[in-house]
Structures are given as structure tokens and as C-alpha cells.
Amino acid sequence: MSGKRLAAARALLLGAVLLSPTALAAQETSRFLPSREYFPTLFADPRQPTTAAKLVYATDSPTQFGSIVEGEAAFGASVPLYRLAGKSLEDALVLGVEGGVFARFNMETVEKDLITTDWVFAVPLVLHRGGNWLRLRYYHTSAHLGDEYMTRFETLRVVYARDALELLGWWRARPWIGLYGGGGWAFKPDPPEHDPFTLRAGLQAQGVDKKTVRPYGAADVLWDQQNDWTPRFSLQAGILLSVAGSSRDIRIGAEFVTGPAPQGQFNHVETTYLSLGFYLDL
């Protein structure tokens, strides 16, 4: 399958993921397509499937452009498909699907050169017990270098893809804050000689009242064996805007990331950047 056909197939699949909850939101009380609340959102994870637009300033850039203003457009969603067991958010076992694409652009060139595109597809299984949860997640990710970037710098893309399993647990320490941790194993990395293991930990806090505007803050740390366990720190803070009649929120947040780049094409290169973004967690 050609690159264009593969990209089109992925776009169609992602579109179906996004449209499904909209068309069937009225069935929230059924086992099929339960509420979006059954799937956790890790605010500080740079590759959390979400729909977003943000401006990024890289003080330490992994690209040959150097320190520039970049734009990142993300298109993605998390969809709980079926509640396998339980009757509420306190005791449920839920299976679903996630998908996202993250495209990074140079905002300082006339052509707005596409730098990289990262794809994520995942199938999570989430067990809820009280305010805590345990998530077993299969995911596939792949990274692609932009045509404009390759042409401008006469460079080739780095082979980077992996099929992996991740186990993550969340403990709600207080009604407004939770801690999480776990690890992953890539059973099919590409290149195959890549080291397979990752570790992740973080915390997340947000207002729990019923106000339309609530503050939030989150931190995420990822250790990748392929990068000799060098940590990538990601911090995000901002406000949550509740959408009337929906379990979804709009986020407006500032982000700080330092460590190995979240872009797969530059995963082996360290970066530091600041961003300001608008997020819709579908």
C-alpha cells in the first residue's frame, strides 16, 4: 500500500473514531458506547490522543531549523466502545479505541514546512474500582518526516515504529488529585534492535466543583530504555472549561517539556520547549 493510501486509510479510521460518540451519545446509559468519563485523559502526556492546536517555542530544538516558533495540530479521540462489566464509573470494565495524529509545522517559513507527523492507534481496557483505575493498553505508533523538511535539508526519515503493551495504574489520593505509574513493553519495535521497555509516572490535579471554569495541573515523566533511561519531563497547567450537557471539557493550557523529543523522528535527540495550546478531549 502506498504512503498516500495508507495515510488516507488512517484518516478514515480516525474520522470514524471521532464521529462515533457524536452520533450515539444518547446511548450513554447502555453498555455500548458508555460515557467518555470511563476513559482517563493524561493531560501532561504529549501523545495523549486529543484534538488540539498549539504554538510551540523550542528553546533547544531537535530539528535543523534551530530554535523557532512551531505549530502543532492534533486530531484524535478516545472512545469507550463497550462496558464489559459493572454498572457505574465505580466498578466498570470498559473496552475501547483511541486514535490520534500529531503534525508539527515551522510557523516561520512561508510554506509552513511540515516537520514531522506522528500517528497513534490504541486499544485500551480499563478497570475501575472506586476512584482508582487500571489500564492495559495495546498501542501502535509510527513517525514520519515531512516532505518539505526532507527536501529543504536533503535528509531521510528515521525508521521509528512500535507495537507495544502498556500497563498503567491510577490512585486517587484526594478527590482533586491522582497519582499514576506503570510501564510498557514493545513486542514489535522497528528497527527491531531498539530496546523495548519504558516506565511512566505522573500526577494530575483539577478542580472538582461544578463551576464552568476550573484550574488544572499535571506532570508526566517517561523513561525509555532506548534512550538509556533519560527522563522526559512534561508539565502542563491551565483551565478547564465545561461544555454544557457533556462529559467533555475544553482545556487551555501552558506546557513545558524537556528531555528526549516526543516526536518519533527525533526521539533520540533531547529538546526543551514551551507551548500554549487549546485542547478538546473527545
Q: Is 155 helix (H, G, I), strand (E, B) or coil?
A: coil
In this predicted structure, what is the pLDDT of residue 91? 92
Q: What is the pLDDT of residues 248-279, one digit of tens each?
A: 789 999 999 999 999 999 999 999 999 999 99
Rounded to whole angstroms, how far apart are CA atoms 196 and 157?
Answer: 21
**Exposure string over 228-259, b if 16+ CB within 10 A, otherwise e:** eeeebebbbbbbbeeeeeeebbebebebbbbb
Q: Grid coordinates in use for 252?
A: 487551555
Yes or no: say if 124 and 98 are a contact pair by the CB < 8 Å rule: yes
My answer on whether omega of the bond before 124 falls inside 30° of 0, hence cis, is: no
* Interval 178-202 mean pLDDT: 97
For every residue of 67-125, DSSP letters joined together read S-EEEEEEEEEEEEEEEEE-SSTTS-EEEEEEEEEEEEEETTSTT--EEEEEEEEEEEE
Arithmetic mean of pLDDT over the chain: 89
| DSSP annotation of 246 | S
* Interval 154-181 mean pLDDT: 95
**Main-chain dihedrals φ then ψ at residue 42, nearest 5 degrees:** -95, 100
Model confidence at 229: pLDDT above 70: yes
In this predicted structure, what is the pLDDT of residue 247? 65
Cβ within 8 Å of residue 30, ≥6 positions away: none
Rounded to whole angstroms, how far apart are CA atoms 136 and 110?
Answer: 43
Q: How many angstroms separate the Cα of 156 from the Cα of each of 63, 127, 221?
A: 13, 42, 29
pLDDT band at 23 (very low <50, low <70, confident <90, very high): very low
3-state percent breakdown (helix, strand, coil) of the chain, nearest 5: 15, 55, 30
Rounded to whole angstroms, how far apart are CA atoms 198 and 120?
Answer: 16
In this predicted structure, what is the pLDDT of residue 17? 46
Rounded to whole angstroms, how far apart are CA atoms 70 and 151?
Answer: 18
Q: Grid coordinates in use for 106?
A: 515551522
Cβ within 8 Å of residue 271, ≥6 positions away: 58, 60, 61, 62, 257, 258, 259, 260, 261
Cβ atoms < 10 Å from Cβ of 211? 11
pLDDT band at 112 (very low <50, low <70, confident <90, very high): very high
The domain spans of the chain are: 30-280
* 111 class by beta-carbon count within 10 Å (0-12 exposed, 13-18 middle, 19+ buried): exposed
* Interval 191-218 mean pLDDT: 93
The CATH classification of domain 30-280, taken from the options 2.40.230.10, 3.40.50.2000, 3.20.20.80, 2.60.40.10: 2.40.230.10
Q: Grid coordinates in use for 44?
A: 501532561
Q: What is the pTM of this model?
A: 0.86
